[in-house]
């Protein structure tokens, strides 16, 4: 690597801001989000016109840095990312929207995300809710190692598709399970192993958890890490974790990107609520906050519900 991580971020943002300053059509907001331990850092490029649908492109800073060997590579990355979001914006998603109207073509691009319930409208979007969290179906424009762009699927499209909410949600859940498989992350490995990608606990050959992790908890996300809190609602995930950890689970959604998982007999929800408050205050950007509540997974009912604390 011929350029430091800090210089890479500075140079990439400089290139993006230069292109933004010379763009006459659409004004973008360009920001760098510093990653905390175990949490990826991103550069976000987003439209700023609140009267129109928000369109965003997110660049995984660390992944992109590993692929850029010099300033020429950085400039090419900036141009590619800016061109992608500009083309989508200029077209007002027309081409992709036409693609979206064809269910057979668009079905493989459906996925789920968890967002705060206040950010979704059940009359406008395909979604389910639990507590103050909404599981929402999205359509992916692009989802590579470096960038991600997507929109919420409008609920009115269901009539054209001839499908129900539950059918589309089920399909989007399975897509997400395959395209962004769930992973557990051990904090000590996050800090000591370069390019640590987590562990596939759904694999039948996965080894048992250590006593340490049974009592101190784990971090749950997806292999892509972006919007990884959705891992908690993917088919079979909480059930398998409850089997591995030996009991019901507390779920602490520290952001939209991950959730901390603890066995319910190892810590109090009051203690976890305090940890969540501190984490949000110290490390979670406002746009990445999912909830301020603690949730519980019940093995018997196979349901996730809020904890009254």
Q: Which helix (H) or strand (E) holds 49?
A: none
∠ CA 106-107-112, nearest 5°, is 110
Q: Scan for tokens 């589309």, then name that residue.
A: 168
The answer on pLDDT for 287 being more than 90 is: no
Give residue limits of the domains in the chain.
1-91, 93-179, 181-306
Q: Phi and psi for 152 in degrees, rounded to 5?
A: -70, 140
Do residues 149 and 57 touch, judged by C-beta distance below 8 A? yes
Tell me what pLDDT residue 76 has: 87
Q: Which helix (H) or strand (E) holds 164?
A: none
Q: Scan for tokens 């971020």, then name that residue.
A: 9
Residue of 89 and 219 predicted with greater confidence: 219
Spatial CB neighbours of 197, under 8 Å, sequence gap ≥ 6? 183, 223
Tell me what pLDDT residue 158 has: 95
The listed range with the strongest mean pLDDT (93-102, 118-127, 291-300) is 291-300
pLDDT in tens, 242-283: 999 999 999 999 999 999 999 999 999 999 999 999 999 988
Neighbours of 287 (CB within 10 A): 13
* Mean pLDDT computed over every residue of the chain: 85
Do residues 97 and 31 touch, judged by C-beta distance below 8 A? no
Domain with residues 1-91, CATH architecture: 2-Layer Sandwich (3.30)
Residue 16's pLDDT band, with cuts at 50, 70 and 90, is confident
The answer on pLDDT for 8 being more than 90 is: no
pLDDT in tens, 77-88: 888 877 777 766
């Amino acid at each position: 690597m011929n350029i430091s991580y800090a210089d890479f971020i500075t140079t990439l943002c400089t290139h993006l801001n230069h292109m933004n300053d010379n763009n006459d059509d659409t004004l973008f907001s360009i920001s760098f989000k510093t990653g905390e331990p175990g949490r990826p850092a991103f550069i976000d490029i987003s439209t700023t016109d609140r009267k129109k649908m928000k369109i965003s492109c997110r660049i995984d800073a660390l992944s992109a840095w590993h692929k850029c060997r010099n300033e020429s590579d950085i400039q090419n990355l900036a141009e590619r990312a800016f061109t992608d979001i500009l083309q989508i914006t200029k077209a007002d998603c027309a081409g992709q929207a036409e693609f979206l109207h064809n269910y057979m073509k668009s079905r493989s691009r459906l996925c789920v995300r968890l967002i705060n319930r206040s950010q979704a409208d059940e009359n406008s979007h395909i979604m389910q809710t639990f507590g103050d969290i909404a599981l929402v179906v999205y359509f992916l424009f692009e989802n590579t190692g470096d960038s991600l762009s997507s929109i919420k699927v409008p609920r009115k499209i269901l009539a054209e598709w001839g499908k129900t909410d539950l059918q589309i949600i089920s399909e989007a859940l399975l897509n997400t399970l395959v395209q962004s498989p769930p992973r557990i992350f051990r904090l000590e490995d996050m800090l000591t192993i370069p390019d640590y990608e987590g562990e596939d606990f759904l694999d039948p050959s996965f080894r048992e958890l250590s006593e340490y992790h049974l009592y101190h908890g784990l971090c749950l996300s997806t292999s892509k890490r972006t919007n990884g809190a959705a891992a908690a609602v993917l088919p079979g995930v909480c059930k398998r974790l409850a089997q591995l950890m030996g009991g019901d689970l507390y779920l602490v959604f520290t952001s939209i990107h991950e959730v901390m998982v603890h066995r319910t007999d190892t810590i109090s929800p009051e203690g976890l609520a305090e940890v969540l408050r501190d984490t949000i205050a110290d490390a979670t950007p406002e746009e990445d906050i999912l909830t301020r509540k603690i949730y519980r997974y019940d093995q018997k009912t196979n349901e996730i519900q809020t904890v009254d604390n």
